[in-house]
Structure 1
């Protein structure tokens, strides 16, 4: 669905259902100083007037800009003393999520949307909060979820390096760390990150809120697409690993070994070594192993999911899963793994890995 215009939003304001409150519009004479329209919100035998600010899209950046504009409007109205009634600020948008509502609540500013959510604040008189209604006006933007798939590489790269000279340097860093994307995709993702106040684009492109970005990546994480799995026991594990690495190099196939103990303290256990690879057949060529689930020492997972191999780390002639991908996997597993993931957060945010 296309983004609603300001006129389309105004046309729908009268249809907002926000019981027990009644919402209406009141046209003002042209000599009024605070705008042409004000919102009237009534309940029982009471009513209050609100100074509205329309947002076509309620991103965190637009919310902050809306609050700023409302503060200027309110100050101008007070200076002109155009009306005797108090005018309370209110933001109107097609959709306000719970994060938006919390931001408005903290600022003691009201906000209602066309989807049935809102917070109405009249200090000392009224407080109504409603959330959970689905977005009736979802965006048809070309990148719907930047925290998943190829688009996520443009997000993940900020945990490898937090600051860049320009958009082109972001693309170069992604490519250098094994990712494949385009300048157009990077630009679109950065635009969204800027709207979410996760990245700033001033003289440089820099990370603003790594903690929140990490939460978004965790919440949107999907396990790698598994095409095949092989579990077995090698005649000589050390020799087998060397041969696998040699096969990958000669056949130009990607692989990474998954070992959380490289980045965090893990409870001891006799788990088999887990390795992701683009081709199991090419990877194990010439390796002496037996496919078995009885006391296995190797587990191979065949996947072409690019994010698994992104920012892989080389150590002692072997490639290892990146600390960020390791964290995301652990954070989406059981309680013990989640506790290990939690212990990695500070290191990720401080760029210790």
Structure 2
């Protein structure tokens, strides 16, 4: 059996450390499905885990990477045959089980999703957890009667992975998008992705419990006062989806938007989503993105060796677009 090459994270008597290691099959956490990994991706959560700046891993050591896409080696699920193209996002990867920064992943078959037709593993990882989160937000909002006629959707953190993909996705789904960003140098690209307008962070902040209704709904990656301000400026029966807390976990809001305008606050918890919902989200994403449109997004590629630099850029706010990770055992 071939050796397994992985970006492995430790926290022991010598402190927090991470790097590429050669493992045996016996070193991996258990799972009834084995996947030969071709690509993974880099999310903010991966950067926190890989540097120790966030408490992401619940046990050590573990391989990093909350996403993976590749081919089935073997599975207890009869629906999967060796060679089938599949993906996994979240589902305990790099949290309770070894993650996708590895030439092989073992995972319970309940978390494995067949790749949408026409996509390769690289295209799937351009979306990854970030795209899945944006798709889950769109699904939940539409289930709660969000409609383009309600008005534009504000997307905060629009230059981050979730925000960028949400800007493109909501536009493709027929919504007007107002992208909110603190990086004006990327305004042109956000418009190319489908943003009707690009707003500054400050322009959406209000200290009023309810203000003029200007957004049909919102996808918020920021939290704190930004989330409270979006709630205060959403039209009657619009939805605000919350999926991040870049500026903090507090919510300095009142119940006024809920009881006067009927605004709904929807929580987006992508990591533990059950399989039936996962399949619906990936079907939704496949309806709006084909392989050609995915590769046209702002994407760069790295190998396992380049992860520390990517993590540093992401945590310092210097990254833009998506980073996919080519998992090439021969290069390790």
For normalisation by structure 1, the TM-score amounts to 0.23
Which has more radius of gyration?
1
Q: If each structure's strand is expressed as a fraction of its own residues, which one has the higher value?
A: 2
